[in-house]
Every structure is written in C-alpha cells, then in structure tokens.
C-alpha cells in the first residue's frame, strides 16, 4: 500500500492540509508548530512517502514535464542535445519525455498528440518539416514551443538556430581559396530548412567567386550515411570527377568518406571534403576532417532558457530567435590546389 497524505495525517492526527503544508515547506508561513512539522517529516521519511505527481499535476495544471521530439536519437547531434537538455532541466525540477520520429511524419504527429494529452509544460521540437500542420496543433493549444534546428518562414515561434548560411560560406570559401572549382554539394532532405540554407551558402560562395555549378554537382537527398555514400561513389566513378565535397551533415559526411575510401581514394590527396557538424569520428580518420561545428551545448541551454522563460514568466513576451555562430574547425581533409 503506497502512502498518501491521508496515511500520514491519520497517523499524526492532523489533517491532510497540514501534512501537505509541511511537506511542501510552507509550514513556517502557516505558523505550524515545530513539533508537528517534525513528526510529519520524520514519518514521511519513515514511510518513504513520495508525492503522487499525477495528482499534483491535475490539481496544479502543471506537469513539470517537457517533451523533446528529435528526428534521430542515434545521431550524436541529437543524443548530445538530449544530454544537455536533460541535465539542464533536471536541475530545474523538470522531467523529459523523449520522442524519436525517425523522420516519419505520422510518428511526429502521434508523439505530439501524446505530449499534448499529457499536458506537458513545453515542447522542444526538431520538426521534419515535410508538413508543418503538426506544429500548428501545438501553437493552437498555446503550449510553449521551442523549434530547434529549423527555421520555418512565416511561422512565428521561438527558434534555436545556427547561422547555416554563413557557416557554409566560410567552409566553401575556404575550399575556393585553396583553388577548388569543382565542388559538389551533397545535401539532405530538400524540404529541410537547414539544407536549403546550407545550399544557399554554397551557391553564394561559388557565385561570389564566379564559379558555375553544373546540375550534377548538387545531390539533395536525405540526411543518411547511405545517401552520402552513394552520392560520393557515383560522382567519383563518373567522367566528371570533382575535387571537393561539401557534406550537409555528419551522417552524409561519414557516408561520403566511406565512399571515398571504397573507391580506393585518399583524403585529402585525391579528394577534399568539408561538412557540417563536428563528431568524434571526424578526428579518428587517418586524415582528420575539417568541419563546421555547431555550438550544441549553448544551443541546448538556449532552448531550455527560452522555453522556461516562456513557461515560468509570461507567455506574452515576444517571440525570440537564438541564432548562434558556427565555428569552422580546420583539420586536414582538404588539399591546397594552388
């Protein structure tokens, strides 16, 4: 039998209210006697009393729960995000429900329903973006929402972003400075805002250098190892072999590297590569990879701060966008052609 406030009240011969006040550390302001308070706290300890959170939530209309919806928890980008978010929220007394969509829109929809049904206090969402109907369901309910790692035009909300375009331009310009002209863009899902902005950065850099881009140098697809692998091998075996790859995320980059290796080529001697996201393996390859690092810890903390300020302070503060700079980490995966 799990003890409730009543259990304790009965044994100490006081009312539920008194027990509640004591256990919530409000007995001083109610002027409850030291003696009563002590009896209650020690009995609670003895019985291993733990407040029923479902009851508290129902009464208070506050769950201290945040839903975190990510697209692929096995991608280190997201697992690190979860780690930082979980840690920050834990220290504030919040608990997180984790939802993995695997880039599946129905899943995203289902998870959002579950989270709304559970009356979470807020949601951190890294949306698929194939359709944004799901997002409106959250907005309609006025549930605080932090959109993570995506920018949807004409959708007012709180955003946590990095400057994708500038970050990409820094990397691609670096390739151009090293004399590269045949630079391939291996991209992610075409409807994804990151992909679009990274692609825009790529085009800008090449355009500024007056380098034209043949159609077959642009390989949109999806954020997978497989896509990176296939795009890389296909191009390396074509009759117009590029000198450099730009990979739109860590999964694609890893796949491309594997493709390069399987074609019997060396990075950076035979082919150069740069890409988005820093990841552990990047430093483990024979030639460590030059990458665009996203400040994940800061992004996670900003997401939490943004959400909590909306939850705890007022919901009438204006929408905010946290746009952080990326960091270009130069290692050794590009060759200077000059």
Query: Which of a second copy, DNA, none lies near 113, with the C-beta cut-off 5 to 8 A by kind?
Result: a second copy
- Cβ count within 10 A of residue 209: 15
- The b-or-e profile of 53-65 (16+ CB within 10 A means b, else e) is eeeebeeeeebbb
The DSSP call for residue 31 is T
Q: Indicate the residue among 127 and 201 with the shorter CB distance to a second copy.
A: 127
Interacting span for a second copy (CB under 8 A) from 49-57, 197-205, 300-308, 323-331: 49-57
Q: Give the contact letters, 257-286, x = binds to a second copy (CB under 8 A), - = no.
A: xx--x------------------xx-xxxx
Number of residues that bind DNA (CB under 7 A): 28
* Pairwise CA distance, residues 228 & 133, whole Å: 29
Contact call for residue 114 and DNA (CB under 7 A): no
Nearer to DNA, 92 or 216 (CB): 92
Q: Which residue has the tokens 């805002």?
A: 193
Q: Is 315 in the site for a second copy (CB under 8 A)?
A: no
The least distance separating DNA from the CB of residue 110, rounded to whole angstroms, comes to 18
Q: Length of the chain in residues, anyone?
A: 338
The span from the CA of 124 to the CA of 138, in Å, is 11
State the pairing for strand pair 290-293/272-276: parallel
Residues forming beta bridges with residue 273, ordered by sequence position: 245
Min CB(208)–a second copy separation in Å:
34
Quick check: helix, strand or coil at residue 324?
Answer: strand
C-alpha dihedral, 199 to 200 to 204 to 205, nearest 10°? -30
Question: Is 24 a binder of a second copy (CB under 8 A)?
Answer: no
Least gap, CB of 57 to a second copy (angstroms): 4
Q: Which stretch binds a second copy (CB under 8 A): 11-19, 116-124, 170-178, 230-238?
A: 116-124
- Answer whether 320's CB lies under 8 Å from 157's CB: no
Gap between the Cα atoms of 30 and 33, Å rounded: 9
What residues are paired with 124 via a beta bridge? 68, 146
Q: With binding defined as CB under 7 A, does residue 26 bind DNA? A: yes
Interaction of residue 50 with a second copy, rule CB under 8 A: yes
The residues in 40-69 that bind DNA, with binding defined as CB under 7 A, are: 51-52, 55-56, 58-61
Q: Is 118 in the site for a second copy (CB under 8 A)?
A: yes
The span from the CA of 107 to the CA of 102, in Å, is: 8
Place of tokens 């009240």: 9
Q: Judged by CB under 7 A, does residue 32 bind DNA?
A: yes
- What x/- string results for residues 82 through 111 when contact with a second copy is judged by CB under 8 A? xx--xx--x----xxxxxx-x----x--xx
8-state DSSP, 282: G
**Footprint on this chain of DNA (rule: CB under 7 A):** 2, 4-6, 13-18, 20-21, 23-24, 26, 30-33, 36, 51-52, 55-56, 58-61
**Footprint on this chain of a second copy (rule: CB under 8 A):** 2, 48, 50-55, 57-58, 63, 65, 72-74, 76, 79-80, 82-83, 86-87, 90, 95-100, 102, 107, 110-111, 113-114, 116-119, 137, 140-141, 225, 254, 257-258, 261, 280-281, 283-286
């Amino acid at each position: 039998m799990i003890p409730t406030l009543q259990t304790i009240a009965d044994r100490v011969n006081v009312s539920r209210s008194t027990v509640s006040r004591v256990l919530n550390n409000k007995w001083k302001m109610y002027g409850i006697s030291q003696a009563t308070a002590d009896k209650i706290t020690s009995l609670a300890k003895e019985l291993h009393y733990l407040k029923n959170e479902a009851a508290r939530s129902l009464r208070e209309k506050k769950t201290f729960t945040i839903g975190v919806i990510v697209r692929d928890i096995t991608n280190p980008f997201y697992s690190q995000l979860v780690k930082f978010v979980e840690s920050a929220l834990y220290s504030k007394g919040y608990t997180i429900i984790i939802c993995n969509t695997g880039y599946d829109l129905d899943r995203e929809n289902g998870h959002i329903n579950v989270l709304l049904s559970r009356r979470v206090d807020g949601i951190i969402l890294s949306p698929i973006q194939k359709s944004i109907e799901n997002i409106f369901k959250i907005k309609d309910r006025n549930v605080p929402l932090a959109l993570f790692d995506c920018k949807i035009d004409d959708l007012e909300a709180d955003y946590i972003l990095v400057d994708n375009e500038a970050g990409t331009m820094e990397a691609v310009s670096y390739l151009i400075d090293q004399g590269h002209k045949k630079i391939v863009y291996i991209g992610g899902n075409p409807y994804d805002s990151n992909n679009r902005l990274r692609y825009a950065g790529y085009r800008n850099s090449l355009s500024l250098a007056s380098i034209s881009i043949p159609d077959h140098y642009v390989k949109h697809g999806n954020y997978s190892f497989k896509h990176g692998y296939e795009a890389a091998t296909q191009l390396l075996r074509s009759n117009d072999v590029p000198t450099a790859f730009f990979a739109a995320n860590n999964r694609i980059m890893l796949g491309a590297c594997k493709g390069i290796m399987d074609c019997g080529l060396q990075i950076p001697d035979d082919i150069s590569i740069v890409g988005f996201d820093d990841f552990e393996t990047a430093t483990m390859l024979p030639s460590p990879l030059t990458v665009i690092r996203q400040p994940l810890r800061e992004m996670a903390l900003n997401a939490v701060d943004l959400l909590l300020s909306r939850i705890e302070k007022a919901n009438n503060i204006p929408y905010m966008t946290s746009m952080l700079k990326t960091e270009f980490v130069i290692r050794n995966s590009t060759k200077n052609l000059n």
